[in-house]
Each structure stands twice: as C-alpha cells, then as structure tokens.
Amino acid sequence: MELRIKAIMLGFITGSLVVFMLATHLSKPYTVVLASADEPLVEQPEQQQPADTAPEEIEQECQLPASYPESIRQWCSLIQENSVEYAVESRLIAAVMLQESGGNPDAYSKSGAVGLMQVMPRDGIAEKFQCINGPCFAARPSMQELYNPEFNIDYGSRMLSNLYAKSGDWREALKSYGPMDVGYYYADIVLNIYHNYQ
C-alpha cells in the first residue's frame, strides 16, 4: 500500500512539473533555440557600408518594419542615423533595443545597465564592479549621459560596430555586448528578434 502511495505521489509531482514547464514555455513571446558555436542559429545581418550622406540627408520616413512596436519605432530617426554612422543595420540596433529596454529610455537594470541600449555606466551600481586592472567600467559614460536617448543609441551602436570589427561575426559581437556568462543565449535572442521583425 505504501509503495502505491509513493508511486501516485511521484506521478503527481512529475505531471505537475510537466504542466509547469509547458505553461512557462508557452507564455514566452518567442522560443530561443541554442546553437553550437560552430554554426550560427540564423543568417546573420550584413555589415552595412558607411554612406557618404550626412545624417541630415537620411530619409525621414522610418525604415524599420511596421511590425516593430511603437515603443521602438519612436526612436527610428536616431536608429537610422546611427545605422549609417556606424555601419550597423537599423533592424539590428532596433532588435538590441527591443531586447534590452523595450524602448524605455528610463530603463535601469538590476545589474546597473542604463537606458535604451542598456549600457553599463562608470557610476551607480556598476562603479563597484572590479576587474583585474581596477573598475570594469571606468572608461564608460555616466548614468546621466546614458539616460539621454540620443547619446545612449549612439554609444550602444558604436559598441556594436566595434565588437563586430573585432570578430567579423554578428553573433560573436552580440555575445560580447550582452550579459557575461550566458554564452550565445543573448546573441540568439537578439538574432531571433532581428529575423522575426521583418
């Protein structure tokens, strides 16, 4: 009799766990599939060539797909300006922004990242982060600077461009841009957003 009760309890716990995992999976807006480091999960965005046009000459109509939420599209002119300036596709900048802040210029993460592109500042919580050679973010802008949407998008776009220049691979660049110790998880989320919003 006791063995029968244990079997019923084990079945109940297992069933509850399966239902919980299924409900958690279905509640996510998209599914992330982790890939090996050898093969990118999705086709990577192409590196844009810097245009000879001045930012004032950029077409004013938003070039982002209409499927992007208005919270992102409201920053379209700044996204497009920085896309041209740093040769980063506008849809990729928008995908990072959507993942990082959802378009909220006042976003502040529990790790101390600030603004639309969630850049780590030199002050605030991040000031306490120590690396081998001293404070990790000592050369970064201040929180006050990063709360300025124009500055934040510029700085984040420049970071993406520089990271791409080091690796020549957007997945690697996004891995470096995102949180430490998550492998390609962050990069794959952003690349999925990039491909899902067309």
Cβ-in-10-Å burial (0-12, 13-18, 19+) of 75 comes to: buried
**Does residue 17 sit within a domain?**
no
Sign of the CA dihedral with 60 first, then 64, 67, and 70 last? negative
Q: Is the pLDDT of residue 27 over 50?
A: no
Q: Is the pLDDT of residue 47 over 90?
A: no
What pLDDT shows up at residue 5? 78
Span 44-55, average pLDDT? 48
**Does residue 89 sit within a domain?**
yes
What pLDDT shows up at residue 81? 96
Domain range spanning residue 179?
31-196
Point out the least confidently predicted range of 54-68, 107-121, 137-151, 171-185. 54-68
**Does residue 14 sit within a domain?**
no
Most confident of 15-29, 58-72, 156-170: 156-170
Residue type, 127: E
**Does residue 25 sit within a domain?**
no
Q: How many domains does the chain fold into? A: 1
**Does residue 22 sit within a domain?**
no
Q: Is the pLDDT of residue 58 over 90?
A: no
Chain centroid to Cα 121, Å, comes to 16
What pLDDT shows up at residue 126? 54
Q: Is the pLDDT of residue 167 over 90?
A: yes
- Six token digits for residue 112: 């101390």
**Does residue 59 sit within a domain?**
yes
| Number of Cβ atoms within 10 Å of the Cβ of 141 | 19
**Does residue 125 sit within a domain?**
yes
**Does residue 8 sit within a domain?**
no
Distances (CA, A) of 71 to 19, 41, 98, 111, 197: 33, 27, 8, 23, 14
Q: Is the pLDDT of residue 192 over 80?
A: yes
Q: Is the pLDDT of residue 38 over 50?
A: no
Span 11-20, average pLDDT? 60
Span 151-177, average pLDDT? 93
What pLDDT shows up at residue 91? 97
3-state SS assignment for residue 193: helix
Query: In 109-150, which ranges are E strands?
Result: 130-131, 134-135
Sign of the CA dihedral with 71 first, then 77, 78, and 80 last? positive
% of the chain surpassing 90 pLDDT:
44
> Residue 151: which CATH number?
1.10.530.10
Round to whole Å and give the CA distance between 80 and 77.
Answer: 5
What pLDDT shows up at residue 121? 78
At 134, give phi and psi (nearest 5°): 120, -160
**pLDDT, the chain, mean:** 77
Round to whole Å and give the CA distance between 118 and 108.
Answer: 7
